[in-house]
Amino acid sequence: MEWFPIPGGFIANWKKPVPPSELPDGVIWNVPTTSRWTLAEAREVMKTIGTRYIWWDWMCVPQVRNDDLGKGLLDAKGEEIGKQLHIYRNSKKSIVWLHSTSWAEESALKKILLLGMTRPGDADPEIVRKHTADVEQWIQTAQKEERWLKSGWTLQEGVLLGDTLLIDSNGKPFSDERFYNEAQATVRDLSIPISVLAHNLASAYFIHVEGHDPDPVRPGAGQFGNLLPKSPNSALWLRRSIKFLVETGLSREYKYVEDSCWALIGAMELENVKVEYGIPMDDVKRQFLSALIAKNQWEMFFLPPPSVFRWLSIADGALLPLGLFLVESHPSPGFTEDNLPQIIFSDEHFGSDDLRLKAKEGQVIGLFRAAKETVTWFRHYRQDEDGLRIVSPRVVAFAEDALFESAWFLPLWDVDIKGEIRGKRCVLLLRFNGESAAQPARAAFGGMIDIWGIGTERIEIDEIILDPTP
């Protein structure tokens, strides 16, 4: 089946819906009129596209208030949302129609697209700082000017349809041979420049605090960060800028609070998730987070915990991802992904907030007690109001940091060598309480830590419950 998705954004008038006689066959809910096009005009345009099935977000699901929908339309809404991943995956062509943008005019969106072509002089910290501040301002302005960049629902279109052409209000593409496909601007050309800038800033911060590139085997590694001078002020603005760029997606808006989860099902490629409305928001988050963890497992937990949080905060985007630092890591000898404990969140009825690590059949979970006398270096990833933060012996000695008192480690991967010692990437376990015949072990999640000199005292357990607040 050939689908042609047409995402876009414009002002809808719900007080004046399209007359039922003008609705496409199969659409049993109200469709709003809009500030720019009549449905009749839009259908004439669609006839010129030359494909049998067209999916347009203008009329894709019932969009009036959930209170105004009967059970039948609420069920239909959930079913239609569940279909979107399938539609995007199987589409042959797609466009994003940017109704408030004209490529013939200057705009913040246009500046972001051209960001990768106009790099600043990376050796001058003031130029880099100003350039980064300009990008932050362009992002904020572009989100105000172009609805497609602000809507929560369009995030999945950006993730799943990277090759989608960006068409302006006049139906024109933006052409330049320097774009990703060497021709016309696509969604990918919008995301790549910002992602590259965020990674460069993260690399610069890592070099600032650690003295070397996070991954020396990457081509061009450290080029950006090694040129910036080391100073406390540089570290702070780097952290704040990284935080802003990473949290850009959190500023997206949703008409209904449940959609802050349901609108991400497609973007996260989650399948067999029951989309429900009219249930408590924490229940929505539990279902969403349970599916997210079941699919991604340990990729979900390269996270720095803030001082106070709960597991459902992950669904709110409250924890920043550490993958930006791109620290070289690989499995230990003889170790495979199949050896990792399974992560399970909640229960079959989504009534629990417990997060459990369970050893797979025939295996155990091996934990190591922190030994102050054997630790030669550590790199602990933390988070505060200024963003991601790395704490190492450059900040505080391992033996002097009260957080590590009675700590345990769950080693997962190998990282770089310091001296002659291979580092281990571990889950930091705090306030550990061993398992008994009646209860599994329990500990607080202290985030991820890289340790050199892990120690030798080891215990084996079958299961452990992780509490969220360290």
pLDDT averaged over every residue in the chain:
81
Residue 181 sits at φ, ψ, to 5 deg, of: -95, 15
CB 405 within 8 A of CB 399: no
Query: What's residue 170's pLDDT?
Result: 82
Token digits for 66? 């959930």
pLDDT in tens, 389-400: 899 999 999 999
CA distance 225 to 228: 6
What digits encode the pLDDT tens for the residues 78-87? 777 777 777 7
Per-residue pLDDT tens over the stretch 241-266: 888 888 876 677 777 788 888 888 88
* Least confident piece of the model among 136-150, 205-219, 237-251, 362-376: 205-219
Check whether 137 has a pLDDT greater than 90: yes
pLDDT at 289: 92
pTM: 0.82
pLDDT mean over 134-148: 90
Percent of the chain with pLDDT over 70: 83
**pLDDT grade for 156, boundaries at 50, 70 and 90:** confident
Give the pLDDT mean for 112-118. Answer: 73
**pLDDT tens digit sequence for 90-110:** 777 888 888 788 888 999 999
Whether the CB-CB separation of 18 and 26 falls below 8 Å is answered with: no
Confidence of residue 210 (pLDDT cuts 50, 70, 90): confident
Lowest mean pLDDT among 122-126, 165-169, 231-235: 122-126
Quick one: tokens of 290? 């349970």
Structural domain spans, the chain: 1-278, 302-467
pLDDT at 402 exceeding the cut of 70: yes
Report, as an integer, the average pLDDT of 279-305.
Answer: 88
Q: How far apart are CA 283 and CA 401, in angstroms?
A: 37
State how far the Cα of 355 lies from the Cα of 361, in Å rounded to an integer: 19
Within 10 angstroms of residue 190's Cβ, the number of other Cβ atoms is 21
Q: Residue with structure tokens 């349901």?
A: 262
Q: What per-residue confidence (pLDDT) applies to 5?
A: 47
In terms of Cα–Cα distance, which of 104, 72, 97, 94 is closest to 3? 94
Give the count of beta carbons closer than 10 Å to the beta carbon of residue 419. Answer: 9
Question: HEC states along 104-155?
Answer: CCCCHHHHHHCHHHCCCCCCCHHHHHHHHHHHHHHHHHHHHHCHHHCECCHH
Report whether pLDDT(2) > 50: no
Six token digits for residue 369: 């007690």
pLDDT digit string (tens) for 176-204?
Answer: 777 876 688 888 888 888 888 888 888 88
pLDDT digits (tens, 9 = 90+) for 301-320: 777 777 778 888 887 776 76
pLDDT bracket for residue 465 (50, 70, 90)? very high
Question: What's residue 164's pLDDT?
Answer: 83
Q: Provide the 3-class DSSP secondary structure of residue 383.
A: strand
Q: Give the model's confidence band at 1: pLDDT under 50 very low, under 70 low, under 90 confident, else very high.
A: very low
pLDDT of residue 325: 67
Average pLDDT over residues 141-155: 83
CB atoms within 10 A of CB 301: 20
Q: Which residues are CB-contacts of 378 (< 8 A; sequence separation ≥ 6)?
A: 392, 393, 398, 449, 450, 451, 452
